[in-house]
Amino acid sequence: MLKKIFPTLITASLLSACATSPTGRNQFIMMPETQIDQMGLQSFSALKKQKPISRNPQYTRLANCIAGAITQQTGGQWEVVVFQDKSANAFALPGNKIGVYTGLIQLVGGNQNQLAAVIGHEVGHVLAKHSNERASQQMAVQQGMGMIQQTALGQNPATLGLLGLGAQYGVLMPFSRTQESEADMIGLDLMAKAGFDPRQSIGLWQKMEQASQGQQPIEFMSTHPSHATRIQDLQQRMPQAMMQFQQAQAAGRQPHCN
Residue 122 among the catalytic residues:
yes
Q: In Å, how far from its chain's centre is CA 36?
A: 15
* DSSP state, residue 74: T
Spot the catalytic one: 33, 79, 122, 180: 122
Tell me the residue type at 140: A
Cα torsion 212, 194, 68, 40: sign: negative
d(CA 205, CA 201): 7
Residue 101 host element (H or E)? strand 97-101
**Cα–Cα distance, 22 to 175 (Å, whole number):** 16
Measured CA to CA, the distance from residue 176 to residue 222 in angstroms comes to 9
How far apart (Å, rounded) are the C-alpha atoms in residues 116 and 64?
11
By annotation, the residues acting in catalysis are 122
